[in-house]
Structure 1
Amino acid sequence: MSSILTIKDMRSASVTLVPDIFINEYMPEANGEFVKIYLYLLYVMHGRTAAISLSSIADAFSCTEKDVLRALKYWQKAGILKLEFDSERKLSGLSLLPLESASAAPASMETAVTVSGQESPAQQEEPGSPQPPKYLSPGAIRQLQKENPDIGQLLFLAEQYLKKTLSATDMQRILYFYDELHFPLDLVEYLIEYCVSQNHRSLSYIEKVGLAWHQENVHTVDAAKQRTNTWSRDYYAILKAFGIRGRDPIATEVEFMNRWMKEYGFSLDIIKEACSRTISQTAKPSFKYAEGILSNWRQNNVKSPSDIDGLDQQHQKRVKASEKGAETKSKAANKFNNFHQREYDYEKLEKQLLNQ
């Protein structure tokens, strides 16, 4: 058994106060560099420095301005920070929000810091990039649990499925489906149960599946079960076409198959044909090789097996034309050798030359 440590406070009077709730609920799940940035902002609030900018913060921690902005955006998403921008969409300031109820902090309770010199995150993001999920703050989660006892039951069941104690961030990610995407609680439970049944306990994986359901307007348990049953049959049909039996698809294979069926919109017949051609060419199952075939078919607007036959016929014509062209070039190259070559008596020629 380890001995008890005695801690003495011998610091000077000049200290930076860190809220206990930050240490207990926010800090454990955050990147260490992000924690440093937030602590530095608390330090700045005590007037230790006259002015700050993204560049000065970056210099203080030997990182880039983008790293600093990434940390600020993380704390804004966590609900304890609010970024402000001027008319030119440059980052001009930020507000430290109360940690207890970040989602409803009144303006009078905000503590502001002026920051200069960076474009807004909206300008930096690429067009069409997905917006980050809007997670509930820890305070909002506690309030939600008070209002609806079933929330606590859902989180308890989630811990049993995932075989771990949920962190504050875990709760945020699970309740995102209920609060933001308006999934019924029984659907959120089924989502977790289904992913665990597929040997996936990662919340990142669960989040991807849930977002896919939302995009497909799956908002009831019955609809989810119908979808998962259909897609499971399709997965195993594709594995069988590859000659793979006796195991479940792995995550990367699922990503390929989802792309073929959802993004490319191919039927099982077309996908199976690509699998068959893959085996013929490589003598082994290769999802990457099949991806090349299906990607090409997609570019050529293939919709049915007859479209594939049409592409094959065009390919054969090109091959024949190429072979005919090569044969023509070969004949032209050999034309010089097609004349009747004379036969010479080299011994007679040699005697004639010697007698001259």
Structure 2
Amino acid sequence: MDYRLDIGMWNQVFAVPCALVDKHLKLAGKEQLQVLLYALRHAGEGFTVEGISRELGMTDNEALDSLEYWCDRGLLSQTGRELLPVPQDERAAVQAPEPEMETVKEEPAEEKPGLPPKKRMLRPDGEHLTARLAESEGVRYLMQEAESALGKTLSPAMSSLLLTITDDYGLPVEVTVMLLNYAREVGHIGTSYIDSVARDWAESSIFSIEAAEEKLQQLSRARLAWSKVSAVAGLPKRSPTKSEEERACRWMYEWGFTQEMLEAAYEACADHTGKFSAAYMDKVLTKWHQQGITDRQGLQQQKQAAAAKKSDRGGAEKSYDISELEQLSGLRLPDKL
């Protein structure tokens, strides 16, 4: 006789790492837990960040940040687009506290002047964050202002990132708040984006309100330039590459081309390539800049002059003398055909 145990919905289960409950359940945010459970449920099937965000009702940045959270915590490792469990010995090495050792005076490592220390492999944990909140009024103020700037309760990942920005990157609290307000304005409030911008600001020595204001003006001008290029080309909403952004700024602010001329350059680009190409538009606008063409009227005059010159060359090529032709050919054409 065959026996069968029917436990309803428990017939189909998937494994959850003990470390998730033992060490991370208290500290992980809702999004991080949702994403990990989704990934475990679809292990071996393959999934995308877009699929996760669609199924769980979150943004792509939140889904990506949540996956990176578990990589930062040593639960997962990432190679390209493949996620794997971290081997037990490696996880223990990452999570185990460093043994106490006698203080040894070492020569400081040579670093580029003005750069903050490199990022930690792992961001500050919950205990360290709690301790810093208790001892630093500035950190407490930063966390309060960050919630106001981002318009939501801070996740553990975001809280630890803000502490990293302050303690490791060296950005003052007021500069970090300006950065967060900018991130909210452009619609990128995920930890990955904020981390990359903060690191860039630190490497650029933006450690004062004045320097931050100047940087924000540069970013605003770059956004405006790219928005005009996107509008004339009918591009979907996306962030430009560094090269595209630099070219858009050069076209508008260095060469002074209007949106009307950008549209004309795109038309020339589309006629030749059938699509948007910043490199081809750059060649067109470079030529117009060198020729001193600044508006459509000047462009039309240049086209008419080029057409007239071509017509003159064509007429000269078609005109010939009968006697010269006879001498060249060695033949005499009959008087009548």
TM-score by length of 2: 0.49
Bigger relative contact order (CA 8 A; separation at least 6): 2
* Greater Cα radius of gyration, structure 1 or 2: 1
TM-score by length of 1: 0.47
